[in-house]
A and B are shown apart, each in its own frame.
Chain A
Amino acid sequence: MGSKYFTEKKHFAGMPANRQLSAIIEAFPDAKILSNRRDNFALEIDLQPSTLCEIYRIKIVYKSNISVKVYVVDKVLKIAHNRKKLPHVYSSEKQQLCLYSPSKKEWKSTQYIVNTIVPWASEWLYYYELWLIDGMWYGGGHNEYLNEELNKRIKDE
Chain B
Amino acid sequence: MEQLYKIEISEYLEELGKELDITPKEHEEIVKSYQAVGNWLSKDDSSLTPYNPKILPQGSFMLGTIVKPINPADDIDIDLVCKLEKKPNAWTQRDLKIRIGDQLKSNSTYDRMLWEYKDGENYNEGGRRCWTLKYADVAGYHMDILPSFSSEGLTYLMEKTFSADSELNEHDLQALAIRITDTEKENYSTDTNIENWHKSNPFGYAQWFLQKALISKRKMFSLNESIDPVREYEKEKLPLQRVVQLLKRHRDIMFSSDEFDCENRPISVIITTLATLAYDRSENLVDAYSGIVARMRSYIEDRFNPETGQYEKWVANPINKVENFADKWGDVKQKQDYFYLWLDKLEEDLEKIKGSNGKGLQYLNESLSKMYGKEVTTRVFVNHGKKNVALREKGQLKMAGGTGVLGSVGVKVQNHNFEGDFGK
Interface residues of A (CB under 8 A from B): 26-30, 45-55, 87-90, 98-104, 106-107, 114-116, 118-127, 129-130, 132-134, 136-142
Q: Count of B residues near A, CB < 8 Å?
A: 46
- Indicate whether A53 sits within 8 Å of B360 (C-beta atoms), given known contacts A122-B404, A141-B419: yes
Cα-based distance from A122 to B405 in the complex (angstroms): 7
Residue B262 interfacial (CB < 8 Å):
no
Decide: B392 and A123 in contact? CB cutoff 8 A.
yes
- Indicate whether A52 sits within 8 Å of B424 (C-beta atoms), given known contacts A100-B417, A133-B381: no
Decide: A101 and B416 in contact? CB cutoff 8 A.
yes
Residue B72 interfacial (CB < 8 Å):
no
Decide: A27 and B402 in contact? CB cutoff 8 A.
yes
List, in ascending order, chain A residues with CB within 8 A of B420's CB: 88-90, 98-99, 101-102
Decide: A140 and B359 in contact? CB cutoff 8 A.
no
- Indicate whether A106 sits within 8 Å of B358 (C-beta atoms), given known contacts A118-B404, A136-B382, A138-B382: no
Residue-wise, chain B 393-418 has the 8 Å CB interface mask toward A (1 for contact) of: 00000010111111100011111111
- Indicate whether A49 sits within 8 Å of B385 (C-beta atoms), given known contacts A119-B413, A141-B417: no
Cα-based distance from A20 to B4 in the complex (angstroms): 29
Cα-based distance from A109 to B399 in the complex (angstroms): 20
List, in ascending order, chain B residues with CB within 8 A of A26's CB: 401
From B401, B403, B418, A48 is in contact (CB under 8 Å) with B403
List, in ascending order, chain A residues with CB within 8 A of B357's CB: 51-52
Cα-based distance from A103 to B147 in the complex (angstroms): 71
- Indicate whether A130 sits within 8 Å of B382 (C-beta atoms), given known contacts A52-B358, A100-B419: yes
From A119, A125, A127, B414 is in contact (CB under 8 Å) with A119
From A51, A101, A138, B8 is in contact (CB under 8 Å) with A51
Decide: B399 and A138 in contact? CB cutoff 8 A.
no
Of B110-118, B198-206, B361-369, which stretch is located at the interface? Answer: B361-369
Interface residues of B (CB under 8 A from A): 2, 4-5, 8-9, 12, 356-362, 364-365, 378, 381-382, 384-386, 388-389, 392, 399, 401-407, 411-424
List, in ascending order, chain B residues with CB within 8 A of A136's CB: 382
- Indicate whether A123 sits within 8 Å of B413 (C-beta atoms), given known contacts A103-B424, A141-B419: yes
List, in ascending order, chain A residues with CB within 8 A of B358's CB: 48, 51-55
From B2, B356, B362, B422, A133 is in contact (CB under 8 Å) with B362
CB-CB nearest in chain A for B7? A51
Decide: A129 and B361 in contact? CB cutoff 8 A.
yes
Cα-based distance from A30 to B404 in the complex (angstroms): 12
- Indicate whether A53 sits within 8 Å of B361 (C-beta atoms), given known contacts A99-B418, A114-B411: yes
A134 to chain B, nearest CB (A): 6
Decide: B414 and A115 in contact? CB cutoff 8 A.
yes
CB-CB nearest in chain B for A134? B378
CB-CB nearest in chain A for B357? A51
Cα-based distance from A28 to B250 in the complex (angstroms): 41
Decide: B8 and A141 in contact? CB cutoff 8 A.
no
Cα-based distance from A125 to B385 in the complex (angstroms): 12
CB-CB nearest in chain A for B424? A103
Cα-based distance from A102 to B417 in the complex (angstroms): 10
Extra contacts besides A49-B406, A118-B404, A127-B418 (14): CB < 8 Å: A28-B401, A51-B405, A52-B356, A52-B361, A52-B364, A98-B420, A99-B416, A100-B418, A122-B399, A126-B361, A126-B406, A133-B378, A138-B382, A138-B389
Decide: B392 and A130 in contact? CB cutoff 8 A.
no
Decide: A98 and B9 in contact? CB cutoff 8 A.
no
List, in ascending order, chain A residues with CB within 8 A of B405's CB: 48-51, 122
B173 to chain A, nearest CB (A): 42
- A-B pairs, top 5 by smallest CB distance, nearest first, are A98-B420, A141-B418, A47-B404, A138-B385, A103-B423
From A48, A104, A141, B404 is in contact (CB under 8 Å) with A48
B413 to chain A, nearest CB (A): 4
Cα-based distance from A123 to B393 in the complex (angstroms): 13
List, in ascending order, chain B residues with CB within 8 A of A115's CB: 411-412, 414
Cα-based distance from A125 to B406 in the complex (angstroms): 11
